[in-house]
A and B are shown apart, each in its own frame.
Chain A
Amino acid sequence: MTRRSTVSALFSALLAVAVCACGSGGGSSTKAAALGAKQDSKPTTGGTIEYGHYQEPPCLVTTWVQTGYLTRQYLEQLITVDEKGEFLPWLAESWDISDDKQTYTFHLKPNVKFTNGEPFNSEAVKVNFDNWFSTDPTRRNGYVAFHVEDHIDKIETPDDLTVVFKLKHPHHPFLSALSQYAFGFLAPSVVKAGPEEWCVRPVGTGPFIVEKWNRGTNVVLKRNPNYNSAPGDVENKGPAYVDGINWKFLKDNTARWGSLKSGQSDVIYDIPGVNWAEANERYEVLRHITGGRPSQLALATDHAPFDDVKVRKAFQYASDRRKAVETVFQGAVPYNGNGALSASSPEHLKDLEDYYKYDPAKANQLLDEAGWTEKDADGIRSKNGKKLTVRIVYGAGSIISSDGSEFLQIVQDQAKQVGFDVQLKPITTADFFAGKGRQPGEFEIQPGYWVARSAEIFQVVWKPDAKADDGTVLPNANNTSRLQTDQVGIWQLVRQADQEYDDAKRTALYEQVQRKLVEEQAVTVGAYPLTVSLALSERITGIKLNASIGEPIFNDAYFVKGK
């Protein structure tokens, strides 16, 4: 045997072993039996849930949606919401809205205490809101501010258990906003101490208490034995059944999936695409399609070539996005063709899903009409000597996952067939957050999502640029398409809808907004929604995902006897 053949023999042996290892047994009969056992079981107490999550936040209280999944376990909000869109009590027992819709009065649950013994009362609510609206950026809560700061005139606390929000004008999405994860309350002493304290030792009223954060490894959560403030969307009104949760950060897909298969985890988050079919065969799978703005490609309307609506429409027709999503995600994430709104938002218009079906002939025709008629040897179009180049600038690894990048590559390839020179410009997380590539004029296409429960996201992402007192323009960074919606009659509709309390009328207005954004302006190219998925072993049951943003809820979770 020569040296080289030894090497190749060893190599193929290694490969063969690795390939064999991918095969697996199991089957749906085991899953059916496990599900049956789960349904018959009664809640048991005790045990610690081994939960394998993915992203580790830099701080235990931020408004990043990934932190929201975690804060749900220890911070609580005034209200929550169910799948039907009905708002349910949480730290607020009940609420009234005045006839002019400008005064929202919340009646707080009595005898609720933060886990450090401080009382939860109207003062605590006010302290938190003041902190969220702080001008100190390390205290300010951008998410809360975007959603409600423009609408709140003042917050009053007439007594210990009453909080009154005086609005500047009626704002129907106010309750929907309050039901979202970023509105969780910290104990006032912790608010006072600042991020140094709440980043590592947050204190709330929730069913679990943060005992310890071992960076890079886990957050140890212990049951709150005095818990008495359960939200309306859980069965168990007392302390959690389990002793605690070991919230582990398993960043590697193989490790996370392997941890569930080997029994080291009872539940894992974010089922890898390649394991999606097997997960559904073997385990109980929970999935939540997050609402708000889905992952979509915003086309920059403030400069060529997408200042021409025909070119925008041509780009919409140029790629088979439905097939691309199916290919890349293998069923783990659905297609969301209506770029204006995620399919899980109640106002979502279904008929816009396939408004721009893959149609290269139409794309070609539109580009011809728009004057992009010259073609070079590669088939790339140009007009007056200028090439039809579009840059897709995206936050790689942060906003766009590796699967998402693959989706963009397919779009790039197909758009090239009709004459677009599409350039992919991935930007690292830090540079992207620092603003690199995101300033007006630096991109033609910017992919992105913005989680919310419903159409209330319109007032965040379609708000026109503001002007400072000295006349300088302050661009709304969330409006990546740069469409000044007040000039095309969309912003007026959003404002009107937000102030409309008649459900049918309001929905009709939000539908008009979607039609204008998609059909008329064609500024947003639909792709796929943010998706939360959980796989549960046969040992555990009772976990659910919140209807708003899909945070996992463990109040009702318990271990199945005999497993």
Chain B
Amino acid sequence: MAATVLKRLAGAVLVLWATATFTFVVQLFMPGDRATMIINTQAGNLQNPSPEEIATLNERYGFDDSYLTQYLHYLGDLARGDLGVSYNQHQPVTEIIAAQIGPTIVLTVSALILAWVISLIITVLATGRDNVWSRAATGFQIVTAALPPYWIGTILLVLLAVQTGIFPVEGDTSVIGLILPALTLAIPLSGFLGQVTQDEFERVLEQPFVTSSRTRGMGDLGVRLRHVLRHAVLPAVTLSGWALGALFSGAVLIEAVFSRPGIGGILVQATSGRDIPLVTGVMLASAVMYIVANLLVDVAYRYVDPRLRTA
């Protein structure tokens, strides 16, 4: 057990190191001069800064040091938990991210739960039946799995918020303000999870133990819920770790559509202003999310499939 934990931890550190190194290397190869960009972003206009101005900034941020020195400094700071100060906002990166990550986590987790609920309801009720409803439901899943969230978000916004006023146009952090953005992210994911679960569900429905359960006199819904589902959800559980990461990036767009606070706005601004400390911070935060999600998936796996507990 201890060995597993250690292996997991080492893996997590490796992912973080790779993320940090990747961001560092990428920014070195971006065109243009970093000091010039910081100056022009600050001024909000285009100018050719004087050599003195550039020298001041190169000195302050160590842009003149060798790449190796810069890299070691950067890793050293990271190891101490110091993500540095944003070039454009002039605030500590940890503070900026800490203030914004909460709403994004709430959004992605709610979207994942909602996606599961939708896909499970459709799967349990519709799979393996041959009627208009089940076909409509399957069709719905195929369509939604392919829909871009941005488009769904705009449609939902226009229909349910702007036109009818049922939901607020500006997604605040209240529960009612969470529904539309979470639904926007959940709909395509539910289609995707549903597709995966359904295939497995259909396969399991034909297994001998299902027939034997039925012959024991169990009702259809009971068989589906207690026996078939347990087997059928495993692939979708595995995918959920990946899905959480995908939702995190999807949230970037959706937060803008619903004017929600969150990490998305920061990432867009930081990327367009090439605010390296901030971009790195957000990347690392996403990597942490991803690691945690996959740990949770492992735990869930053991819970859903008892055979794995001894493995």
Contacts and interface: CB of A to CB of B under 8 A. Distances in A.
Interface of A: 1, 3, 6-7, 10-11, 14, 17-18, 21-22, 56-59, 62-67, 135-138, 140-143, 146, 194-196, 199-200, 214-217, 248-252, 254-255, 257-259, 261-265, 397-398, 428-436, 438, 448, 450, 474-478
Most buried by B among A3, A200, A264: A264
B231 to A, nearest CB: 25
Contacts of B161: 258, 262
Contacts of A11: 143
A270 to B, nearest CB: 14
Contacts of B139: 3, 6-7, 10
Contacts of A67: 44
A250 B140 contact: no
Interface stretch (B119-127, B208-216, B264-272): B264-272
B157 A215 contact: no
B89 A477 contact: no
A18 B155 contact: yes
14 contacts: A21-B163, A58-B273, A63-B43, A64-B43, A140-B53, A194-B90, A196-B91, A216-B260, A217-B259, A252-B257, A255-B170, A431-B32, A433-B32, A435-B33
A523 to B, nearest CB: 18
Contact of A262 (B31, B37, B132, B169): B169
B47 interface: yes
B248 to A, nearest CB: 15
A215 B46 contact: no
B175 interface: no
Given A214-B261, A262-B161, A264-B168, A7 B30 contact: no
Nearest to B136: A6
Contacts of B256: 251-252
Contacts of B265: 56, 215-216, 249, 251
B45 A1 contact: no
B274 A430 contact: yes
Interface string B78-96: 0000000100111100001
Contacts of A138: 38, 42, 57, 90
A259 B169 contact: yes
A434 B261 contact: no
Interface in B112-159: 132, 135-136, 138-140, 142-143, 154-155, 157-159
Given A64-B44, A251-B256, A435-B37, A264 B170 contact: yes
A216 B266 contact: yes
A530 B40 CA distance: 20
A59 B46 contact: no
A434 B56 contact: no
A377 B110 CA distance: 58
B31 A436 contact: yes
A196 B274 CA distance: 19
In the complex, the 10 A-B pairs of residues with the closest C-beta atoms, listed nearest first? A64-B44, A434-B32, A216-B265, A258-B162, A142-B43, A6-B139, A434-B37, A430-B274, A58-B88, A433-B40
A478 B47 contact: yes
B44 A199 contact: no
B169 A258 contact: yes
B274 A434 contact: yes
Contact of B273 (A66, A141, A430): A430
A255 B272 contact: no
Interface string B163-183: 101001110000000000000
B145 to A, nearest CB: 11
Main secondary structure of the interface of B (DSSP, over half): helix
B170 A216 contact: no
Contacts of A194: 90
Given A10-B139, A214-B99, 5 more contacts: A64-B43, A143-B43, A216-B100, A433-B273, A434-B30
B49 A431 contact: no
A59 B41 CA distance: 10
Nearest to B158: A21
B36 interface: yes
B57 to A, nearest CB: 6
Given A21-B159, A66-B44, A435-B37, A215 B31 contact: no
B39 interface: yes
B101 to A, nearest CB: 11
B170 A7 contact: no
Contacts of B39: 137, 142
A295 B47 CA distance: 17
Nearest to B49: A137
A71 to B, nearest CB: 11
Nearest to A398: B272
Contacts of B40: 433-435
Given A135-B56, A258-B158, A434-B37, A65 B140 contact: no
Contacts of B88: 58-59
A433 B31 CA distance: 11
B34 interface: yes
Contacts of A428: 272
